[in-house]
Structure 1
Amino acid sequence: MSSNLGAPDRPNPFEHLDRLKLTWTHIKIWYLSGAGFFTDAYDLFVIGAVLTVLSAYAVPGFEELHGPNAAYWSGLLGSAALWATIAGQLLFGFLGDRLGRKYLYGVEAAILTFGALLSAVAPNLLWLIAARVFLGFGIGGDYPISATIMSEYSNVRDRGKLVALVFANQGLGILASVGVALASIALLPPELAWRVMLGVGAIPAATVIYLRRRIPETPRFALLVKGDVEEARKAAKLFGADIQTPARVEGLSLRQFLSDNWKVLLGTTVPWFLMDIALYGTGVYSGAVVASIMGPASDIFKQIFYQSVPFLVGFPGYFVAAFLLDKLGRKPIQGLGFAAMAAIYLAVSTIIVAAGKSVELLAPAAATLALYSLSYFFINFGPNTTTFVLPAEVYPTRYRTTGHGISAAAGKLGAAISTLFFPTLLATIGVSHLLQLLALVSLLGIPFTVFMLPEPKLASLEIVSGEHKYIRAY
């Protein structure tokens, strides 16, 4: 990468940081960022198992989940955290660019901790819904801040890998939710099992609150937004690096940012919105989709195990993506993921249509489940990872957490809509037609990926975002 961003008065003050090899400090920041995402995913996906328990057993205080409006209340509980996540993403994204990344880091982890504890002690459904709303606000705050901190500290060669590995903790969190759910159901009475599932989410978040509060401001924000050369150099020294040339950004107003980036905003928001429609609808209500393929399970333990199979198959996708992002690029991986999702949804819907209620008439149930589960591999290998990585790279420093927050909020809007209406659609149009709709949703993500986004592979953040045009030396 050139030491110059295009003109003599447009230096690259972060050349030393960009050229670094991977260091232990990178790994430390990855851990602090990733622990939050582990918790985010655990909290968002464990609610599926909690719904299964509360719907299967007559737990006092949760009678609404067994009444004539059970689908409505199930959708409301399943989506409660997601609606609040949207608000958290927007607010923390905005504040992250106004107050700084460091100022907010750790606040969201504290909210996650208390939200999980409040959920675990809920005496009734309305309390639990309210606690999930509070929890969701913290989940939302974690998205733009963690992604941006990891991106702004990363070297160019490993940036895609590092940001993707932060997000890969989502997979670990989902697996943990499966493991805790199965263990709780096997070892505890149902009226206690669901509380343990929810309460465990407080543990990983609580472990990083203090360390997150101690992390220094990123060199990019310190220099280009705050104009504090010494703070930027202090942060760079953590990596054994230095700020090459003191510089500042001139003329990048909000109006100019929107004028320069409206296509990019569409490119980061629409694919995330579409992807989360597929991911969260089929994820939170995995039990209903899998039951339509495998038939009803003989007991609740088997039911939760079967509905966990897609998550297990999808898990390696996070790490395959992390390994290939800096080699193949973000856009090819995202486009391939959307195309594979569409193909698999159509194939499974065809099997179910042709076979009627008995899937085995056309294909063995286990084979059909395996095919359906592959959609999770390509979601995680493709847009689930890339829609998180791209917004942390394609926006200028002054608006990076805002851009990521808007993009993530668009995703969670899709997730909330899908989670809210999925039970009703499943009951009215059936799983086959629902999968056909998801195939169409997946295909729509491809043109926005191809035509609206730059490719950040092996390029500095300043070049990718166009910020280099506004950088001037002191």
Structure 2
Amino acid sequence: MSNNPFKSLDSLKLSFNHIKIWYTAGMGFFTDAYDLLIIGYIIATIEYAHTYAGIIIPGFTEYLIGHNAAFWTGLLASSAIWTAIIGQLLFGYLGDRLGRKSVYGIEAMLLTLGAFLSALAWNLPALIAFRMLMGFGIGGDYPISSTIMSEYANVKDRGKLVSLVFANQGIGSIVAAVVGIVSALTLPPDIAWRVMAGIGAIPAATVIYLRRKVPETPRYSLLAKGNIEEAKKAAELLGTKLDVDKRVISKRLSISEFFAKYGLLLIGTAGTWFILDIAFYGTGTYSSAVLAPIFGSPFPATHVTLSLAEFQADLAKDLFLGAIPFLVGFPGYFTAVALMDKLGRKVIQLQGFVMMALIYGIVASIALTSGTKITGFIIPSTLAFAIYSLSYFFIDFGPNTTTFVIPAEVYPVRYRTTGHGISAASGKLGAAITTYLFPLLLASIGIKNILIMLAIVSIIGAVLTYFFVPEPKHKPLEEVAKEELEEEQNVQSQ
């Protein structure tokens, strides 16, 4: 494209208005991570209250300890993930069809309502239903927030700004751990889990108004709607003017044309996200299989009924141990933010997958097993834990961040949220499969063989990245996406 109408927007310096858009987009991802992680703490609180303190929470305990406990636990843990897939696909489609502005804020309303109602659920099926509503909002947040940030960002800082939106997940994870631990320590279980669920409504609620007030992005306004005045008004939000005086729109593509031009790219963005979430959710959800031989369980090995105070202390410690991987991974988000526009997305994603494969392979090779369980390591356990923990750092300083950033840059404006939505849904599909499959794999092949499997999967992720993922660093979105633009005289003749 010889004449870029967004040159002034692309060349802007980082400003307060960029940061305001980042906050508006990022609070959804804070809530996403909080709500998706807090469910593990909620399940533990209800189950362990019965197992170790003899406390029954009517409407909930009977589902999680009965004959069908595995079914209900799996359904509760994954319900928000399944509806997130639907939300990603639907909002991705609507974001391109109706515009980013027309649907922005609706997903935050769903997040807020779902989290708030979860805290008021009267039984487990109701809790599952409300979390499904929340998951729908979580899914919708992915394609819309990422695209709005990328389409408002300047070229020099675009990777940093979009990855900062995603880095709110790291903050949400930490807050979920703090809320979970403090609630478990200070409140009786029947109240603690409701507080954990309800607090997730607060951050999303703070941005509903801001999201509804964000103007349509300059790129969508001009290139998809052909509305010059709306595009200029949106650019003024960032204190600049667009250099355009005639309609310029992006060429529409048929489905066959889209797949002919972007099919391999879709394999790259969707395939790598699918693989990443297998590792991210697998090691995150079932990290206790590796951590148990190192730290042990805070609960007594023999069956005794603990007092409320003893149970609260042990539960808080158990939740803290489960949060360790996310605490270790936290700096990875912001390392990715700092280096995204320096190293580039592709380099960060490649090194992340390679390091994950290396770490999983090392931990598997030094693990001592009995049956399907790890009983120890051939090196000191603390050193083994330090090596294993690095996998969480390189997941976040790697494909967990870049798989979110890249799809917001590489697709043309008419198909950008759709491309991102399909890619994100592929990731959540990997997460959903993992959430169901890993308990069976733990029982049948054990954690050591799972780690070997994850090492192989990570290598496949690196290969897909190398061959199918482009580098968008320091390029205008229209150049990265190979946008085909048509000026006014050609538009009128159609």
TM range (shorter): over 0.9
SS at match of 1:296: coil
Rate the CA distance shift 1:145–1:361 in 2: closer, same or farther, 3 A. Answer: closer
SS at match of 2:410: coil
Partner amino acid for 1:16?
S
Does the 8 A contact of 2:250 with 2:413 survive in 1? no
- Asked whether 1:130 is paired with 2:129, we answer yes
Does the 8 A contact of 1:326 with 1:458 survive in 2? yes
Deviation of 1:69 after TM superposition, in Å, equals: 3.6
RMSD, matched Cα = 1.6
Q: How does 1:254-265 map to 2 (within 5 A)?
A: 254-265=255-266
Partner amino acid for 1:252?
L
SS at match of 2:487: strand
- Asked whether 1:207 is paired with 2:206, we answer yes
Aligned match of 1:450 in 448, 466, 473? 466
Rate the CA distance shift 1:355–1:373 in 2: closer, same or farther, 3 A. Answer: farther
SS at match of 1:416: helix
- Asked whether 1:39 is paired with 2:31, we answer yes
CA distance in 2 between counterparts of 1:358 and 1:133 reads 35
Partner amino acid for 1:41?
A
- The normalised TM-score by structure 1 is 0.95
Deviation of 1:360 after TM superposition, in Å, equals: 4.4
Deviation of 1:289 after TM superposition, in Å, equals: 4.0
Tell me what 2:45 maps to.
53
Does the 8 A contact of 1:47 with 1:284 survive in 2? no
CA distance in 1 between counterparts of 2:93 and 2:115 reads 25
Which 4+ runs in 1 deviate beyond 6 A?
none
Deviation of 1:352 after TM superposition, in Å, equals: 2.2
CA distance in 1 between counterparts of 2:126 and 2:293 reads 32
Partner amino acid for 2:101?
K
CA distance in 2 between counterparts of 1:351 and 1:404 reads 39
Q: How does 1:228-267 map to 2 (within 5 A)?
A: 228-245=227-244, 246=246, 247-267=248-268
Tell me what 1:427 maps to.
443
Tell me what 2:394 maps to.
378
Tell me what 2:330 maps to.
315
SS at match of 2:249: strand
**Which moves more between the two structures, 320-329 or 136-145?**
320-329
State the identity %.
58
Deviation of 1:46 after TM superposition, in Å, equals: 0.9
SS at match of 1:176: helix
Does the 8 A contact of 1:78 with 1:420 survive in 2? no
Rate the CA distance shift 1:72–1:347 in 2: closer, same or farther, 3 A. Answer: farther
CA distance in 1 between counterparts of 2:93 and 2:178 reads 36
**Which moves more between the two structures, 434-443 or 184-193?**
434-443
Rate the CA distance shift 1:363–1:409 in 2: closer, same or farther, 3 A. Answer: same
Deviation of 1:127 after TM superposition, in Å, equals: 1.3
How many residue pairs get aligned? The number is 465
Aligned match of 1:351 in 366, 370, 383? 366
Deviation of 1:473 after TM superposition, in Å, equals: 5.7
* Deviation digits for residues 290-341 of structure 1 (CA, Å, limit 9, x no counterpart): 2244322242222111111111110000111111111111111101101111
Tell me what 1:183 maps to.
182
CA distance in 2 between counterparts of 1:97 and 1:140 reads 15
CA distance in 2 between counterparts of 1:230 and 1:116 reads 39
* Deviation digits for residues 129-153 of structure 1 (CA, Å, limit 9, x no counterpart): 1111111000000000000000000
Q: How does 1:334-413 map to 2 (within 5 A)?
A: 334-353=349-368, 359-360=375-376, 362-413=378-429
CA distance in 2 between counterparts of 1:284 and 1:444 reads 22
Rate the CA distance shift 1:293–1:472 in 2: closer, same or farther, 3 A. Answer: farther
CA distance in 2 between counterparts of 1:15 and 1:212 reads 25
* Deviation digits for residues 19-70 of structure 1 (CA, Å, limit 9, x no counterpart): 1110111000000000110001100111111121122123322223223443
Deviation of 1:470 after TM superposition, in Å, equals: 3.1
CA distance in 2 between counterparts of 1:96 and 1:123 reads 35
CA distance in 1 between counterparts of 2:487 and 2:461 reads 37
CA distance in 2 between counterparts of 1:344 and 1:337 reads 11
**Which moves more between the two structures, 84-93 or 71-80?**
71-80
SS at match of 1:248: strand
CA distance in 2 between counterparts of 1:361 and 1:286 reads 16
